[in-house]
Amino acid sequence: MESHLVFDAALTLADRIVLDCLADDVRASTKQHEANGNSTSTDGVGTGNGSAKTNGTTTTTLLSRARPQVGDNAESVAALKAMNDPKHADFEPTVFSSVDLCSLKLPLPIEKYVLRPYISWARKSVRHETDVVMLTHLIIYFTTSVPSLIYLFYNFTYPHAILHTVMTFYYMGTYTLMMHQHIHMRGILHKKYWLIDQVFPFMLDPMMGHTWNTYFYHHVKHHHIEGNGPDDLSSTMRYQRDDIFNLLHYVGRFYFFVWADLPLYFLRKRRYVMAAQAAASEFGTYGFYYLASRINGRATIFAYLMPLFLLRLGLMIGNWGQHAFVDVEEPDSDFKSSITLIDVASNRFCYNDGYHTSHHLNPMRHWRDHPMSFLQQKNIYAKESALVFHNIDYLMVTVRLMMKDYDTLAKCMVPLGSQIELTMEGRIELLKKLTRKFTEEEISAKYPVKK
């Protein structure tokens, strides 16, 4: 057995705790294996309660979260629970996406007279007290993107347009996953601000590449109902998931036909009102684009159309990575048709989007609860042979698959249970097996038509 665990210095505190637990499990299993007379290797596995192999730095010991013995998750789960509990002394809201509050070092006057009062007010203004960061980002969007867009329409220049597009591209992922929380929880602000909660998406969604309500209808009312099954418009089952031409077909269909596919899906399911709502939302946004173009066509291209094209490309490439590895025997298992990522891009900047299996198991689970839930169910994940990766995001999972770079993907695996005994070649063989295209006969056998 070989492992290459990397503790990135930018991981969230919760992710470091989770990865530390998994590293302990790898070492414990390896020691047991060696005690039984088998030779194994833990090359690259850092110590969970000391330093670890990192990206250019050393991850220091998290003494306050250390477990009493290897393999015991109880104190780690308790620590994560305390961090999420507003009534606990160790409660820590997420205020900024780029840094944990406990690691933030500010001059005392700024912390005392600016940061703390802001946090106190913001905790009362958001739906969940942990989610101060969402209010932070709303303030950022309304003080940067909105004024920039208005001025772009008033006085268009190409340098400004390019900078605006770059800024939007930078915001896009974080905004999308904030809206992911919004569409599942029906809001992110305190209920006393319900009107703002309902109105701001109509302003910001088109700026960030979303058509009105399409994300809600496609993701909540369609994708989570079908769960990557054969009726899922974003299902990966019918594709060879390490082939560029299959990916292009997959992306192209969504890119050019989602406007028709989604309403038609609801019609096939006899959900006629939802079909009309989905169509009205999509075409209503197109109408808005047209009206905007009458004011300033060039500004409309950079402010609305380019974000739309970029986001839809990113969404489908990302979804491909989320559902690239599907078990042939149990494709309908959430454990075996989705993956978990412990990485900076997904979890620090995108609200724990890396815990995709946890999200499919319970779409209503709050984003801050995913690491804790993962540790609580870790043995089930292991028993179900669920896949966990680290130091890679969904987009790069897709890129590595297109390169057929299974070696890198195997090194990014964090083995669970019996996977720990796999050699690197064994991991590669497993991953290749899970990316194979399903035949129509296999799909019919696993998903019999309901009469």
Q: In this structure, what is the dihedral angle of CA atoms 288, 289, 291, 297, given to the nearest 10 degrees?
A: 160
**345 within some domain:** yes
- Give the DSSP per-residue string, 70-96: TT--HHHHHHHHHHH-TTSTT------
**260 within some domain:** no
Please, is 11 exposed, middle or buried when counting C-beta atoms within 10 Å of its C-beta (0-12, 13-18, 19+)? buried
Q: Which domain holds residue 414?
A: 13-92+326-441
pTM (predicted TM-score):
0.91
Q: Side chain identity at 338, as an amino acid letter?
A: S
Per the DSSP assignment, residues forming a β-bridge with 328 are none
**181 within some domain:** no
Q: Which helix (H) or strand (E) holds 128?
A: none
Please, is 230 exposed, middle or buried when counting C-beta atoms within 10 Å of its C-beta (0-12, 13-18, 19+)? middle
Cβ density class 390-427: b for 16+ within 10 Å, e for less: bbbbbbbbbebbbeeebeebbbbbbbbbebbebebeeb
Q: Which helix (H) or strand (E) holds 269?
A: none
Q: Are 328 and 443 in contact (CB under 8 A)?
A: no
CB atoms near residue 64 (< 10 Å): 10
Classify residue 302 by its DSSP letter. I
User: Each residue's pLDDT tens digit in the chain (451 positions)?
Assistant: 445 899 999 999 999 999 999 999 999 888 877 777 665 554 445 444 333 444 443 333 433 443 334 445 889 999 999 999 999 999 999 999 999 999 999 999 999 999 999 999 999 999 999 999 999 999 999 999 999 999 999 999 999 999 999 999 999 999 999 999 999 999 999 999 999 999 999 999 999 999 999 999 999 999 999 999 999 999 999 999 999 999 999 999 999 999 999 999 999 999 999 999 999 999 999 999 999 999 999 999 999 999 999 999 999 999 999 999 999 999 999 999 999 999 999 999 999 999 999 999 999 999 999 999 999 999 999 999 999 999 999 999 999 999 999 999 999 999 999 999 999 999 999 999 999 999 999 999 999 876 5
**57 within some domain:** yes
**393 within some domain:** yes
Measured distance CA(151)–CA(285) in Å, rounded: 21
- Give the model's pLDDT for residue 68: 36
**98 within some domain:** no
The total domain count for the chain is 1
> How many helices and strands, by DSSP H and E, does the chain display?
23, 2
- Give the model's pLDDT for residue 51: 38
**417 within some domain:** yes
Measured distance CA(439)–CA(241) in Å, rounded: 13
Measured distance CA(342)–CA(418) in Å, rounded: 20
Measured distance CA(213)–CA(226) in Å, rounded: 19
